[in-house]
Amino acid sequence: MTTPKIERLDIRSSDDVVRVRQLARTLALGAGLSLVDQTKIITAASELARNTLDYGGGGFVVAELVEASGRRGLRLTFEDKGPGIPDIDAALKDGFTTGKGMGLGLGGARRLSNEFSIHSKPGEGTKVVIARWK
Ligand SMILES: Nc1ncnc2c1ncn2[C@@H]1O[C@H](COP(=O)(O)OP(=O)(O)O)[C@@H](O)[C@H]1O
Ligand SMILES: [Mg+2]
């Protein structure tokens, strides 16, 4: 099987969260990431997919193999049309949760990634982009 350069997956169930992990693993391998870096991006992907499902009411991820100045990497974009995040700085703080989680997902995903950006508007939804480079 050839590794696709770009793939989109809906996130509507816990099974989909597992599929996101598997997709992240496949593409991280394809990008040539080390085992440690594979684990980092898979863990981050898992946290963000969970958030998309639990707080965003579902959505999708776009996964891309990317290349810039000879470096390969994996970029993942999570999007939902849920309630949004009113205070992003607060949401990024370790221990902040409005649910039953540990409040480590967003901050953890940021630490585990080489690139991290989050855009969210109350009432419109949330978009989180992460990347890990070789
Ligand atoms: N996609 C999202 N849509 C709306 N709110 C979100 C989303 N992702 C995260 N949040 C908010 O940010 C908080 C912190 O997220 P996170 O760090 O993953 O911790 P946890 O999932 O344990 O609550 C969540 O409790 C929630 O309030
Ligand atoms: Mg979370």
Task: Establish whether residue 101 lines the binding site of ligand 1, counting it when its CB lies within 6 angstroms of any ligand atom.
Answer: yes
**pLDDT band at 5; cut points 50, 70, 90:** confident
Q: What is the DSSP letter of 2?
A: P
Distance 48 CA to ligand 2 centre (A): 6
Predicted pLDDT of residue 114: 97
Q: pLDDT class for 39, splitting at 50, 70, 90?
A: very high
Q: H-type helices in 4-120, by residue range?
A: 14-30, 35-54, 88-92, 105-112
Tokens for 66, please give them. 């990317």
Q: CA dist 10 to 54, 112, 130, Å?
A: 14, 23, 17
Does the pLDDT value for residue 2 go beyond 70? no
pLDDT for position 79: 98
Kindly give the number of the ligand 1 atom that is closest to the alpha carbon of 126: 1
pLDDT of residue 51: 98
Q: What is the mean pLDDT of the chain?
A: 95
Let me know if domain 6-133 sits in CATH 3.40.30.10: no
Nearest CA to ligand 1 atom 3: 56
> Which among 108, 86, 85, 84 is positioned nearest to 95, based on CA atoms?
108
- 106 within 8 A of 118, measured Cβ to Cβ: yes
Position 87 scores a pLDDT of 97
Q: Is the pLDDT of residue 1 over 50?
A: no
CB of 106 closer than 6 angstroms to any ligand 1 atom: yes
In order of 27, 43, 93, 104, 116, the CA distances from 62 in angstroms are 12, 16, 25, 23, 15
Q: Is the C-beta atom of 108 inside 6 A of ligand 1? A: no
Confidence of residue 24 (pLDDT cuts 50, 70, 90): very high
Does ligand 1 come within 6 angstroms of the Cβ of 57?
no
